[in-house]
Amino acid sequence: MTILLYELVGADPSRPFSPHVWKIALALAHKGLPFETVPVPFTGVPKIEGGFSKTVPVIRDGGTLMKESFDIAVYLEETYPDRPSLFKGEGGKAAARFVERWSQAVVRPYLGGAALMDIYGRLAPADQAYFRPSRQARFGDRSLEEVSGEREAGLHAWRAGLEPLRDMLSYQPFIGGDGPLYADYIVAGFLQWMRVVSPFRFLDPADPVAAWFERCLDLHGGLMRKVPAAA
Amino acid sequence: MTILLYELVGADPSRPFSPHVWKIALALAHKGLPFETVPVPFTGVPKIEGGFSKTVPVIRDGGTLMKESFDIAVYLEETYPDRPSLFKGEGGKAAARFVERWSQAVVRPYLGGAALMDIYGRLAPADQAYFRPSRQARFGDRSLEEVSGEREAGLHAWRAGLEPLRDMLSYQPFIGGDGPLYADYIVAGFLQWMRVVSPFRFLDPADPVAAWFERCLDLHGGLMRKVPAAA
């Protein structure tokens, strides 16, 4: 049965941008599971499946509803054990949680601020009216314009924070080793988020991290490339 | 056959302190492999096994010599597959490399500077004569006293950099999940390094990272606790 993936969009339903949804789209593709996407704007999220979750992704797999990206990945791994593994073992599953928390602590915060106005500009009016106050509260009651205006100033430190990934890439092509695993999708989801919403060049093209992300863009029939980069 | 582990010591041969050697001591204990340690001072490292390596750890396992901690861990995993796994799968092995590079980029640099004078004070004179110029060159030709004098100033940022580990610990007790794997030993080795050489309180005792390290100190019959904390 085809799995439904509820994904976050702005005014254009063909450009899903939630990093956490991209993780799961990649995970579903990795497992070779057919899925259909259901585009949902910010203000539609609380209504998904009768109020099942405050956040996306949400998946419906037959009679099963799941939320929270990591929990969904574990569900897919356990429910479809004969499909290609997302973790390659219990050690990989446990370490993926570390990669997730690294991404949340190091990769996400700067990007979330830097792209505020890019995201805002892509939303329909009803979602803009939700997004502005909710995000201004999240960023200490500062305006979206002020926070996103700091992105040049913060870029160097953000790129420096990617050093563990960059350094690891001198040993192996993916966090998963020779090939990608869910740990790669965790980080790639954040970079795809930026690729879809912003024309700003977050990665130096000469950075090994950029080369790794290009490899990720090629995965699963170019799943992420099907959404053109923001111009 | 008992494995030999060459380990780094100062004037007191009963207080090995190299973080990379501690990783391997823990890995050997995890696998339940009997091993004997061979204490070596800094100036003795180039003479180990006829000049086999510029660094420790080095192990001799029968006719096999191995160097580089990660390579040794992989060797142990592959040579003793029926013993408890250090990685729990290929995904865990690959992600351990990410944890290693995170530790090298985020955990190690501050500690290496902060403990310079502690380490210096524990070395025999011949090793002090090697250590001072080699480390001053590594820290931009600044004196050991100057670099280690900055440890209070850098402490807050260092603790903040542990956030991915701290945050992960709200999900699971070890990087390895329910129990420790080599990825835990990578990070624990750095904290044991400090515990052995310095009375400085690097971790806030209320930090979940400190609680995790205490759990690590208990592992394998309290292997790390057998060396009393520096006073």
Question: Which residues of chain B does A107 touch, with a Cβ-Cβ cutoff of 8 Å?
Answer: none
Q: Are residues A133 and A166 in the same domain?
A: yes
Closest C-alpha among A36, A177, A83, A134 to residue B92: A177
Residue that the structure tokens 């979330």 belong to: A112
Nearest residue of chain B to residue A90 (CA atoms): B88
Mean of the per-residue pLDDT values of chain B: 98
Q: Position A114: which residue type?
A: A
The answer to whether the CB atoms of B168 and A90 lie below 8 A apart is: no
Q: Which residue of A has its CA nearest to B104?
A: A164
Kindly report, residue by residue over B126-174, the tens digit of the pLDDT. Answer: 999 999 999 999 999 999 999 999 999 999 999 999 999 999 999 999 9
- Among A95, A163, A165, whose Cβ lies nearest the Cβ of B92? A95
Q: Which SS3 state, helix, strand or coil, does residue B115 take?
A: coil
Q: Is A107 within 8 Å of chain B by CB? A: no
Distances, alpha carbon A185 to alpha carbons A167, A179, B64, B139, in Å? 18, 11, 38, 37
User: Which CATH number goes with the domain that contains B173?
Assistant: 1.20.1050.10
- Residue A96 forms contact with B (CB below 8 Å): yes
CATH (domain of B73): 3.40.30.10
CA distance to partner chain A, nearest, from residue B32 (Å): 19
Per the DSSP assignment, residues forming a β-bridge with B37 are B5
Residue with tokens 């001053």: B136
From B79, B103, B128, give the residue that closes a domain: B79
Within a domain: B85: no
Give the confidence band of A126 by pLDDT, cuts at 50, 70, 90. Answer: very high
Contact of A180 with chain B, judged by CB distance below 8 Å, is answered with no
Q: Is B3 on the interface with A (CB under 8 A)?
A: no
Residue B96 scores a pLDDT above 90: yes
Residues in chain B: 231
Q: Per-residue pLDDT tens for A12-36?
A: 999 999 999 999 999 999 999 999 9
Query: Would you say residue B1 has pLDDT above 90?
Result: no
Instruction: Report ipTM for this prediction.
Output: 0.97
Please state, in angstroms and as integers, the Cα–Cα distance from residue B212 to each residue in A87, B35, B209, following that order.
24, 25, 5
Same domain for B99 and B197? yes
Q: Which residue range forms the structural domain that includes residue A149?
A: 90-226
B71 inside 8 A of chain A by CB = no
Say if residue A4's pLDDT is above 90.
yes
B228 domain-assigned? no
Q: Could you tell me if B16 and B120 lie in one domain?
A: no
Q: Among all chains, which residue has been given the structure tokens 């057919």? A: A34
| SS3 sequence of chain A | CCEEEEEECCCCCCCCCCHHHHHHHHHHHHCCCCEEEEEECHHHHHHHHHCCCCCCCEEEECCEEEECHHHHHHHHHHHCCCCCCCCCCHHHHHHHHHHHHHHHHHHHHHHHHHCHHHHHHCCCHHHHHHHHHHHHHHCCCCCHHHHHCCHHHHHHHHHHHCHHHHHHCCCCCECCECCCCHHHHHHHHHHHHHHHHCCCCCCCCCCHHHHHHHHHHHHHHHCHHHCCCCC
B115 HSE (CA, 13 A, CB side) = 26
Chain A residues near residue B174 by CB distance under 8 angstroms: 94
Strands A3-8 and A58-61: antiparallel
**pLDDT tens profile A160-179:** 999 999 999 999 999 999 99
Do residue A20 and residue A112 come from a single domain?
no
Mean of pLDDT values over B40-46: 98
The answer to whether A204 contacts chain B (CB < 8 Å) is no
Q: Which of A52, A79, A106 is the last residue of a domain?
A: A79
> Based on the domain organization, do A20 and A126 belong to the same domain?
no
Pair (A116, A190) in one structural domain: yes
